[in-house]
Amino acid sequence: MAPNEYGENNFSDDDFLDDLPPDALTELENNAITFTQKANFKPSPSSDYGDDFDDEDLDDTVVVDEARSAPAVVPPAHRKNPNPVVQREQFRQQRYGDSGIANRTRNDAAVELAGQPDHLLQTIPLPREDSSVSRQQSQSVADGDAEALRKLVQELQEKNKALEQEALMKNGEISILRGKMEKSDKEHERTQAAKEKLHAEQLAKIQKEREAAEIAARRAATERDFTKQDLFEESRVRRLNAQATKDAPNTPSKKKPPMPFRDGFDDDEIEVLSPSKVSPSKFRGRSGTPSRAAKRKRKVQDSPSAGALDMVHIEEPTLEALVPKASIIDETILEKLVLQDDRSDFITAMLQHRPQLTEPRTMEAFSKFFLPTRSGESFSSQILGELPRIGSKKPVSEVPAEFCLYIIQLWSKCLEDEYYTPIYLILDLLQFALELKTTAIAPLIIDQLVPIAQKTADLVAIPRFNRESPSPFDKDINVSSCLALMHLAALGSIPENHDITRFWKQMRWDFVLLMLSPNQNVADFEWMIRILSTGILKDSFGGILPENAVMTPATNVGHIIDRLTYPLFEVPCLPKSTVKVDPDVVGKLRLQIILLLTNMTRSAYVGKALAVHPSAIGRIVSLISDELDTLYDYRSGREDSARLISHSTRLLFHLITTHEQEIDIQKKLAVIRGGSQKYLLCLSRLHFLEEEGVLEAGIDQDVPGYALELLEMVVTPEEGEEIMGVLGGG
C-alpha cells in the first residue's frame, strides 16, 4: 500500500480486508482478549473533566465466579465469532493504537457484552442495585440499633430502680442493726451492772458466812476443849478415888458412945434368953469379958496412931496417856450418843404427832382402827410393837426410813382390804416424817411410796376424768395429799441423779396425763405441775418409759405439753359442772404453767420439744393477747396479768430465736383463730408501751425490746413505719 498524495497511506476498508491473511482476524481476536485481561490489572484512566460521569464504565468489569469469589477468564472456545463490524473495529484498534480509548469505552463494553453468554451476564453485579440494598440494610441496622438502645435504656432504668430499692433496704437494715447494737450495748451495760451488784452481794454474803463459820468453829473448838478438860478431870478424880479406896489401911471402927452405967459386957446387948437355953457352940463363940492382961496389952497394928503415920503415893497420869482416851470419847462415844439422841427425837416426834392442834395424837387415833384381817390388834399397837425391832438390824441413821416403810406397809394392807378410813392419818404422818428428814428418807422409800400413792389417787382421779362421781372414795382419800407426798419424795431425790431417775421410772405416764386433765381439780393440776418441775432431765421429761411402752418418749412429751398448754387459751370448768373457774385462780394457774415451760427450756431436749410442738407457740401468743386485754380493762388481778405478759414474752422470744431454723412461725400461728393478726398486734402494743403508764407499770422494762426484735423478723421496714404511724403517734 503506497502513500497518497498527502503523504499518507490509504487504508480503505475494502482494500485492507482483501489484503489480510486468513488467520489475521483470529490473531487479532486473541490479542484483543489478552489486552482486555491485562487491562484489568491497571487502574482505569479517569477523566479530569468528569466526562461520562453518569455512564457506567464496563472496562474494568470482570466475570466473578460465585463459587470461588475470584475473577475468571472466559475461554476463547466458548465465545461466538464476532460479526464483521466488530472485527473491523478490533483491527482498527490494533492498527492505530489506543487513541480515542476514552470515547470508545462504552462501545467496546457494549460490543464485548453483546458477545457474552446470557448466564455470564447475569453474574455481573450492578452497583446501583447494590447501593439500594446497602441503604436498606443500613436502614434495618439503624432500626435494630435503636430498638437495642431502647431496650438497654429500659434495662438500665429497671436496674437503677432495683438498686434504689436495695439501697433503701440496706439503709433500713443498717438502722435496725444500729438500733440493735445500741440496745445490745445498753443491755450489756445493764447486765454487767447487775452481775457486778450480784457479785458484790454474793461476796459480802460469803464473807459474812465465812466469819460466822469461823466464829462457830472457834466456839465449837472452845467447847470441845472444855469438854475434854471436864472429861479429863472426871476421869482423874475417879481414878484417884479408886486408887485411894484400894490402898487405904484398915482402921478401927468407930466406937459407940459408952453407956452411962457400965455393966462389964463390952457394950453387948443383953441376951433375951437364958444361957441355958442357948446352944453350947453358940455360947462359946461369944466374947466374954477380957482379962486384965488383955486389957493392958495392945497390939501395934491395932493402935489408932499407927495408921496415921502411913503415906499413900499417888501417881499423876501423864498427858500422853490421856490424849488417846479423850479422842476415843470424842469420836465414837459422842457420835453414838448423838445418833441415839437423833433416833429418840424422831421417834418421839412421830409418837407426839397430831393432824391438827385440836385433834388427838395420831397414835391415839390409830388405836380406834383395826384391819379386817387382823381385827384383834389396832394400828397403834402394831406400830408400838414394831418400834423395838426398828433399827436393830440396820444402821441407826436409817431408823426414820425404816419407820416410814412400816407405815407404807400398813397403807398397802389398807388398800388390799379396801379399808380406806385411816388412810388420811397415814398420809399426814408420812408427810410429817418427810418434812423432818426429806433427803434422809426419800431415796430409801420411793420404790414403795410412788406406786402405792398413784394407786390410791386413781380411786378418785379416774372417775373425775370420766366425769363421774368419785364417791365414796373421795370421803377418805385426798388426791392432793397423795400428790404432795410424791412431791416431797421427788424433792428429796433431786440431789442424786440416780435417785431422781428411779423416781420417774416409778411414775406412770398415763397417771401424769390423767392428772393434767381439765376435769381434775385445779389444786391437783397445780400439784402435778410442781411434780413435773422435778422431771426436767437431760433426755426425758414427765416420766421414763419402759422398753415395751406403747409410745415413744417424744410422743409422750408432746402429749404432756399439749395438756399443759391447754389452760393458756381456754378457761377450764369446775369438775362435773359447766361453771368456769374463777379468773384469779386461772391467772395463778397460768403463771405456774408459764414458769414451768420456762424451766423446761433449760434442757435442750425438752426445749426443742416445746418449740416444735404444733400448738404451744400459738397458745402462748393467744395468752399474751388475752392478758393485754385484761391489763387494759383495769380490774382485779392486773398485777398477775403484768407478770404473765413479762414471762410469756421472754419465753416466746427464747423459743423463736433459739429454734428459728426449726420453726415456721406462720404455721404455728395458724392453729389459733386470727393468730397472725394477734401476733402482730400484741407485739406492736408491747413495743409501744408507755414508759410511765399506770396500766403498764407491772411489765418489765426489757419486754418492749424483745417485742421489737420479734416484730422485725416478720414485717418489712415499710410495714414497720405504718405500724409506728398507727400506734406510735407518728
C-beta separation of 525 from 589 below 8 A: yes
Cis-peptide, bond into residue 472, ω within 30° of zero: yes
CA angle 50, 51, 54 (to 5 degrees): 85
Rg (CA), the chain: 64
Pair 345, 206 in one domain:
no
How large is the average pLDDT for residues 205-224? 84
Pair 106, 175 in one domain:
no
Pair 374, 492 in one domain:
yes
- The answer as to whether 703 is a domain residue is no
Among left, alpha and beta (phi > 0; psi -120 to 50; other), residue 20 is beta
- Strands (DSSP E) found in 595-714: none
Give residue 136's pLDDT.
Answer: 64
Statement: the pTM of the whole predicted model exceeds 0.75: no
Quote the CA–CA distance of 470 and 477 in Å, as a whole number: 10
Least confident of 39-43, 128-132, 559-563: 39-43
Q: Which of 673, 681, 560 is nearest to 619 (CA)?
A: 673
Give residue 430's pLDDT.
Answer: 95
User: Helices then strands (H, E): number in the chain?
Assistant: 30, 4
> Under DSSP, is residue 374 helix (H, G, I), strand (E, B) or coil?
strand
CB neighbours of 443 closer than 8 A, spacing ≥ 6? 492, 493, 496, 499
Q: How confident is the model at residue 405 (pLDDT cuts 50, 70, 90)?
A: very high
The percentage of residues in the chain with a pLDDT greater than 90, rounded to a whole number, is 32
Which of the listed residues 441, 467, 496 is the one where a domain comes to its end? Answer: 496
Quote the CA–CA distance of 618 and 600 in Å, as a whole number: 17
How large is the average pLDDT for residues 538-561? 89
Query: What is the DSSP code (8-state) at residue 64?
Result: E
509-519 confidence digits (pLDDT tens): 999 999 999 99
Q: Which three cell numbers stand for residue 319?
A: 498427858
Give residue 372's pLDDT.
Answer: 86
**Strands 374-378 and 70-72, sheet pairing:** unpaired
Q: How confident is the model at residue 17 (pLDDT cuts 50, 70, 90)?
A: low
Residue 277 has pLDDT above 60, yes or no: no
C-beta separation of 446 from 503 below 8 A: yes
CB atoms within 10 A of CB 425: 19
Which residue's entry shows cell 381439780?
521
Q: How confident is the model at residue 242 (pLDDT cuts 50, 70, 90)?
A: confident
Q: Which of 446, 352, 364 is nearest to 405 (CA)?
A: 446
Residue 604 has pLDDT above 80, yes or no: yes
How large is the average pLDDT for residues 352-364? 90
CA dist list (Å): 289 to 292, 295, 687 = 9, 10, 125
**Strands 63-65 and 70-72, sheet pairing:** antiparallel
Pair 408, 362 in one domain:
yes
Pair 166, 55 in one domain:
no
Higher pLDDT, 144 or 625: 625
Residue 246 has pLDDT above 50, yes or no: yes
User: Within a 13 Å sphere around the CA of 712, how many CA atoms are in the beta-carbon half?
Assistant: 18
Residue 652 has pLDDT above 80, yes or no: yes
Q: How confident is the model at residue 640 (pLDDT cuts 50, 70, 90)?
A: confident
Q: How confident is the model at residue 329 (pLDDT cuts 50, 70, 90)?
A: very low
Query: What is the DSSP code (8-state) at residue 273?
Result: S
- The answer as to whether 226 is a domain residue is yes
72-104 confidence digits (pLDDT tens): 444 444 444 445 555 555 555 554 454 444 444
Pair 364, 475 in one domain:
yes
Give residue 92's pLDDT.
Answer: 55
Query: What is the DSSP code (8-state) at residue 6?
Result: T
Q: What is the mean pLDDT of the chain?
A: 76
Q: What's the first-to-final CA gap in the chain, in angstroms?
A: 124
Quote the CA–CA distance of 479 and 459 in Å, as a whole number: 9
Least confident of 286-290, 317-321, 410-414: 317-321
Query: What is the DSSP code (8-state) at residue 378?
Result: E
Q: How confident is the model at residue 2 (pLDDT cuts 50, 70, 90)?
A: very low
Quote the CA–CA distance of 654 and 679 in Å, as a whole number: 16
Q: How confident is the model at residue 524 (pLDDT cuts 50, 70, 90)?
A: very high
- The answer as to whether 213 is a domain residue is yes
**Strands 370-371 and 70-72, sheet pairing:** unpaired
- The answer as to whether 216 is a domain residue is yes
Which of the listed residues 244, 278, 303 is the one where a domain comes to its end? Answer: 244
Residue 718 has pLDDT above 80, yes or no: no
DSSP H helices, 46-104, are 84-96
How large is the average pLDDT for residues 396-401? 84
Pair 340, 440 in one domain:
yes
Q: Which of 468, 472, 431 is nearest to 453 (CA)?
A: 431
> Under DSSP, is residue 67 helix (H, G, I), strand (E, B) or coil?
coil
Give residue 44's pLDDT.
Answer: 47
C-beta separation of 626 from 674 below 8 A: no
Pair 491, 355 in one domain:
yes
Least confident of 34-43, 519-528, 616-625, 642-651: 34-43
For 408, list phi and psi in degrees, rounded to 5: -65, -35
Give residue 79's pLDDT.
Answer: 43
Q: Kind and range of the H or E element at 686? A: helix 675-687
Number of domains comprising the chain: 3
- The answer as to whether 24 is a domain residue is yes
CB neighbours of 691 closer than 8 A, spacing ≥ 6? none
Give residue 482's pLDDT.
Answer: 96
- The answer as to whether 301 is a domain residue is no
Q: How confident is the model at residue 406 (pLDDT cuts 50, 70, 90)?
A: very high
The percentage of residues in the chain with a pLDDT greater than 70, rounded to a whole number, is 66
Higher pLDDT, 21 or 191: 191
C-beta separation of 597 from 589 below 8 A: no
Residue 596 has pLDDT above 80, yes or no: yes
Give residue 641's pLDDT.
Answer: 86
Give residue 445's pLDDT.
Answer: 95
Pair 80, 29 in one domain:
yes
Pair 333, 423 in one domain:
yes
Higher pLDDT, 530 or 176: 530
Which of the listed residues 124, 144, 168 is the one where a domain comes to its end? Answer: 124
Least confident of 390-394, 420-424, 532-536, 565-569: 390-394
Pair 486, 339 in one domain:
yes
Q: How confident is the model at residue 639 (pLDDT cuts 50, 70, 90)?
A: confident
Q: Which of 543, 565, 538 is nearest to 668 (CA)?
A: 565
Residue 690 has pLDDT above 70, yes or no: no
Domain that holds residue 193: 159-244
Quote the CA–CA distance of 718 and 394 in Å, as a whole number: 76
How large is the average pLDDT for residues 543-570? 90
Quote the CA–CA distance of 267 and 259 in Å, as a whole number: 7
Pair 108, 168 in one domain:
no
Q: How confident is the model at residue 691 (pLDDT cuts 50, 70, 90)?
A: low
Give residue 389's pLDDT.
Answer: 85
Which range in 416-430, 635-649, 674-688 is most confidently predicted, on average pLDDT? 416-430
- The answer as to whether 553 is a domain residue is no
Which range in 295-309, 391-405, 501-515, 680-694 is most confidently predicted, on average pLDDT? 501-515
- The answer as to whether 224 is a domain residue is yes
Cis-peptide, bond into residue 43, ω within 30° of zero: no
Class of residue 459 by CB neighbours under 10 A (exposed 0-12, middle 13-18, buried 19+): buried
